[in-house]
Structure 1
């Protein structure tokens, strides 16, 4: 290792110098095209060839009118419209071709590439058509957790999918509020998908299922490990979260890791972000070591070389100050050529893929095209943040500095260079790149408005008025230039924002309703109460006052009030009855004759505080109190209330059966079917009752009740599996009860039967089945989706 460290240090200057020389040569060739405007006649001819496919004659467009084109944000209707108009194949073909060009560095003229693109287009089309046919307006199946897990099952990589879902959850919860959380998550997910695409592209058709699964498992972990650098290096250093001293200390640590091949220990951190930096350091070190372990010896140097070039060029770019009017063109453009190309070259070394002929050259030349397009799209945000990009710098200094290259002109010179010099005038390349360029301008115009767009074009396109008129004509008139990945990006950002808002609403609802329920649970001692009843009421209140989650009555409140329009005050007796019944079951469950628990809800169990007999009587007292509460639902039809009470009694019997099965099973090895049945009777029935009882009061139809029961069955089992996992690996202080009780009591659990990994897979299977049950509901109940997410992600 020491020899390797010295080797890295010795070669670091050479790495960057050689890369910079290559970038300088590339920039010089682009600069020449801008100066002599040789790109203009070449692209003018390209557009003449291109426009015949994208601009219809007015009489033809009149006769081809059919269904009106929907907004792409309504993706279900949009895909249906594309398919109806016969445009879906072309739409997917240019989208997939672009990904092969941008992410995989492929030559569009290769017969093998054409075959692979055609096959992938067919696969995506089938999935989209199926998704739009079965989806009722929810987020696309391929963007949902259950869709991701189902894909993982199909590929035999469930463990990796569960792992990355957990990792993404932790990253999301650790992104500081000063950073754009959705943007950071989107980029991380995009990198993971990109690495998976790379790995899938490298696999031959004859690969065995086991080897395919192994490589995809590895791709997910490598993708996360590499992608983590975007939120926790690039975005973190670009944000205002760290002060200048912290940024310097953090940057030096990263630089040391790349130079020595090992992540240095985190010294005492000076600043306000200690917890964040410790988490980031731990995650990045784990990611760094994982990537390093999976490098072949012959690709390891390439990985460190490209990583250092990427970080150093990014670092040079980051410290630029917009108030400095003296940056040269080379200082503005060389770092972005280097960072944009090396970021893609790293991926190939990360997965240790062999370099195909021309890959390095195509990837090196392509990077700045993508970077200039992104910088154009982000230009106004960058100006607001006073970030230095070619566009922000030109906007500020173009009237003072006649030597500055116009980045918009350079963008078109890059496009011409790619089409004619890198991809050798290939027709598919011309089609895809011009589609992308016009699409970017269309999106910008739509986003900022015509007036502001024209104002910007007057600045950036003034040097080539005739060529600009041609371009703007295409922007106004051209059609069929949109891309699937842009739709996915927009939809992902919308989904992430919506999910965050819904999650906040979910927890706000839980907090608010929990407070309401807690305020109504206390059993009062009225004047004239019998002396012998007082100890039972005190004991009942002691058990009710614990730090309970109150999930069951909260769920009933949400379903009753928010979904079925029942009055909160009118169902208060039902809410009390559910918590009284649940608390009674916990009192019995904790007794020495059953689970013999010493702690419940963060406090000593009732039989520890009082005695066993008092605990037993208190449990019975609460059950009778629950029945009394149900019978006082006098705002509803008596026949409906009677049906509710009959249902409640039936479910209570089944819960007793479940507990009896649990007691009889102690010390015995259960089958999975037996365990499923037992835990549904013990746990799932309570969830079912929380859903069904307000539905009974609301007199909803049987199909909806059946869907609710199916959801409750699978949600209840998922909840119990999570409990079993927490009993094995949870934190006593967070849980509020001892861990390891299942092992101590020799209980059969999902963990003991399936092992930890198997239990997690089973939990996710029931999660998916519960989510799929919700699709059978006539209404979209967002709360139930987030409740399910809470169940499997909770830490108590």
Structure 2
């Protein structure tokens, strides 16, 4: 390691530490003199007139409907709009973000104009989304937003990266928290980039800058799960942690990522993955820095990392930390985490913004530490609150962090934002909202205990604060609502996905048990070669997606008895397997491997394969005709529909054969793909719907979903044929190129095919959301289709 660079890194930390120490002494002096009390008392007395209202009985009843914690996300937005509160709600929310994340002064007319523009745009999105099919901040919404900005490929890249992270987060860490944190960091970087652009760039340049901001935000965001959260989770052994932290430190002080080398420890594969991801992120961030500002970026990064390390190294059982040791790392890590963002995007130097960001950080950190104090105490983490809780009765010199919190607020309002009325409004809104949320989460009794411990030495001021917590309203914020909504959605998504995978596993096993066709025992002279061949094809490692979809719709959605559905389930898999047998023949695709085994004509011969395909098709019709527990007219309609589907599948295969060696248009490819693949998905959904006498609106939504799901499935197949793993796919890759077939990749290119797949994903999801029945299974089926590796 270069000693000179190491000294420079330490010197940069000392400079930051001196600035933090100066700030802390200023705050400490105000705490001792309690100067914040008369100042904030006056501020709150003025502020409360906008937040304590006296209501009639009718309005009190209506107010209860507006509790953000008791209403769904969309319903709450609708309620705010209906009561005329939405504008102010969004204004204070965006104003807060401009202060916290962008270091802006609300006194500026330019800032106010920007806030108003964003509020109007966000309001349109929120009120429109209440009536549209796209869930706000869902993958569909995210991709649609990317399309508007011309950065679809960036969004696809990000979606794939977030999925990869989720699958690599080890036990003992929170994957939901990791994804949310990364998304939050990306949003912060993108906001800074947009403000730096100031609307004065071309659409092409804007797309390039947004692409860069998203990748930078992701790269920076990775440090939270793969450094901070990893080390906090105590997953690494002591020896591994020492090697890991030394590796991070070396990277920051030298500007070069050292090779990992041999890793001694049980977490070798995890560390290899993290090393690769962090190295790529580090190199990308470094490559995007201007040469003249690169040193400043590394200094800020080092200050942030080192302050986190100092903070993490403290031991709650040690009772002799000074106030400076407790608070200065907090000031440094809370301010440098956001100062990094401006250096990350090469923003022009602005000392006013940097100073506001520096002074603001501890306010946000103390609020977060207050909210998390009991979780931190359980983890034996040292924060100003946990340390005060443990040692306040033994250490009279300890600063009460709650008093320091109000001191910071007073200092921000009057010394950083120069008594600006709107800044005061937003900061006090946020402070009271934080206490209200804590009280709701912990309960009144626990809250009163906490306040009894942390209340300042001025009873009158304490009573005023608690009165505001009890009575003040219109203090909630959109980012908190969005955070809660995102966490709920991510958690629900995880539960739903697990249920989806369990359903597939359980139903697939049930279907596999009923597919076997018994031999003809009545005529022992007749060799059952066809039945043996059919069972060979059925025994392959098939996904069984189509009968599983039918089972879910029939049993879960329409309440049909499971045993009554069995003939239909068998018929669907017989039809699908027959289509694969024909598809693999030398006269068609000439495939030698299917479902991880030799194809049927390779094991037997072409004639037997052809007869087996015909046999399974007829067997499927026979199974459908045995659906005795349903209305005969419905069964007849279903068989008629099934026959038409089989005809169309044959047409689709004929189209495929006629297209070999020809360059197809996208329209021709979509049509052929639907007849080959999408129509099978449609049958799986429509056939149980016919038996259940579903309405036309539902049938139309299911048909539209199936159309786009089928094409998305085929596009994914085409993508896997180019880059898939033979061992995972169970069939040869590169067959399309070998047969000179037109595919979505050959017509659109790999990147274009990915975009087309996501377009069909969005249209399928929109069809599902627009229909009368929101089938959760089908939502996760689309996620499976676009993310599968086989």
Counterparts of 1:332-411 in structure 2 under 5 Å? 332-411=326-405
Q: Match for residue 106 of structure 2?
A: 108
Do 2:701 and 2:767's aligned partners in 1 also have CA atoms closer than 8 Å? yes
Q: Give the CA deviation at 1:260.
A: 1.1
Aligned partners of 1:392, 1:10: CA distance in 2, in Å? Answer: 34
Q: Aligned to 2:91, which of 67, 90, 93?
A: 93
Aligned partners of 2:352, 2:320: CA distance in 1, in Å? Answer: 37
Counterparts of 1:175-190 in structure 2 under 5 Å? 175-190=169-184
Q: Match for residue 16 of structure 1?
A: 13
Structure 1 residues 97 and 608, CA, compared in 2 at 3 Å: closer, same or farther? same
Q: Match for residue 310 of structure 2?
A: 316
Q: Match for residue 656 of structure 2?
A: 662
Greater mean alpha carbon deviation, residues 520-529 or residues 150-159:
520-529
Q: Aligned to 1:56, which of 25, 49, 53?
A: 53
Structure 1 residues 736 and 451, CA, compared in 2 at 3 Å: closer, same or farther? same
CA displacement 1:558-579 (0-9 Å, x = unmatched): 0000001111100100100000
Do 1:6 and 1:260's aligned partners in 2 also have CA atoms closer than 8 Å? no
CA displacement 1:347-368 (0-9 Å, x = unmatched): 0011111133401110111111
Q: Give the CA deviation at 1:269.
A: 1.4
Aligned partners of 2:567, 2:81: CA distance in 1, in Å? Answer: 53
Aligned partners of 1:450, 1:161: CA distance in 2, in Å? Answer: 44
Q: Give the CA deviation at 1:68.
A: 4.0
Greater mean alpha carbon deviation, residues 427-436 or residues 462-471:
462-471
Do 2:67 and 2:76's aligned partners in 1 also have CA atoms closer than 8 Å? yes
Corresponding position: 1:505 with 2:483: no
Corresponding position: 1:254 with 2:252: no
Q: Give the CA deviation at 1:211.
A: 0.5
SS, match of residue 527 in structure 1:
coil
Q: Aligned to 1:569, which of 563, 570, 592?
A: 563
Q: Match for residue 71 of structure 1?
A: 67
Counterparts of 1:359-758 in structure 2 under 5 Å? 359-529=353-523, 531-758=525-752
Aligned partners of 2:4, 2:153: CA distance in 1, in Å? Answer: 37
Corresponding position: 1:44 with 2:62: no
Tell me how large the CA RMSD over aligned residues is: 1.3
CA displacement 1:554-597 (0-9 Å, x = unmatched): 00000000001111100100100000111111111111111111
Q: Give the CA deviation at 1:533.
A: 4.7
Do 1:67 and 1:81's aligned partners in 2 also have CA atoms closer than 8 Å? no
Q: Match for residue 121 of structure 2?
A: 123
CA displacement 1:84-120 (0-9 Å, x = unmatched): 1111100000000000000111111111111000000
Q: Aligned to 1:288, which of 282, 292, 295?
A: 282
CA displacement 1:525-578 (0-9 Å, x = unmatched): 142146445111111111100100000000000000000111110010010000
Aligned partners of 2:689, 2:657: CA distance in 1, in Å? Answer: 32
TM-score by length of 2: 0.98
Aligned partners of 1:21, 1:603: CA distance in 2, in Å? Answer: 69
Q: Aligned to 2:29, which of 21, 24, 32?
A: 32
Counterparts of 1:132-281 in structure 2 under 5 Å? 132-134=130-132, 141-281=135-275
Aligned partners of 2:752, 2:464: CA distance in 1, in Å? Answer: 61
Do 2:520 and 2:528's aligned partners in 1 also have CA atoms closer than 8 Å? no
Greater mean alpha carbon deviation, residues 175-184 or residues 363-372:
175-184
Do 2:403 and 2:456's aligned partners in 1 also have CA atoms closer than 8 Å? no
Q: Match for residue 777 of structure 2?
A: 783
Aligned partners of 1:176, 1:367: CA distance in 2, in Å? Answer: 30
Q: Give the CA deviation at 1:340.
A: 0.6
SS, match of residue 195 in structure 1:
helix
Aligned partners of 1:790, 1:529: CA distance in 2, in Å? Answer: 45
Aligned partners of 1:536, 1:57: CA distance in 2, in Å? Answer: 83
Do 2:402 and 2:456's aligned partners in 1 also have CA atoms closer than 8 Å? no
Do 2:106 and 2:112's aligned partners in 1 also have CA atoms closer than 8 Å? yes
TM-score by length of 1: 0.97
Q: Give the CA deviation at 1:9.
A: 2.9
Structure 1 residues 375 and 357, CA, compared in 2 at 3 Å: closer, same or farther? same
Aligned partners of 1:618, 1:166: CA distance in 2, in Å? Answer: 40
CA displacement 1:128-169 (0-9 Å, x = unmatched): 11112335xxxx722110000000000000000000000000
SS, match of residue 50 in structure 2:
coil
Q: Match for residue 293 of structure 2?
A: 299
SS, match of residue 481 in structure 2:
helix
Q: Aligned to 2:80, which of 79, 82, 87?
A: 82
Structure 1 residues 771 and 330, CA, compared in 2 at 3 Å: closer, same or farther? same
Structure 1 residues 184 and 649, CA, compared in 2 at 3 Å: closer, same or farther? same
Q: Give the CA deviation at 1:7.
A: 6.0
Q: Give the CA deviation at 1:64.
A: 7.5
- Could you tell me which runs of 5 or more consecutive residues in structure 1 were left unpaired when the two chains were aligned: none
* Number of aligned residues: 788
Q: Give the CA deviation at 1:611.
A: 1.1
Aligned partners of 2:473, 2:728: CA distance in 1, in Å? Answer: 57
Greater mean alpha carbon deviation, residues 730-739 or residues 74-83:
74-83
SS, match of residue 52 in structure 1:
helix
SS, match of residue 133 in structure 1:
coil
SS, match of residue 130 in structure 2:
helix
CA displacement 1:653-687 (0-9 Å, x = unmatched): 11111111111111110000000000100000000
CA displacement 1:3-62 (0-9 Å, x = unmatched): xx6763341111011000001000000000100101111111110110110012456x87
Q: Match for residue 765 of structure 2?
A: 771
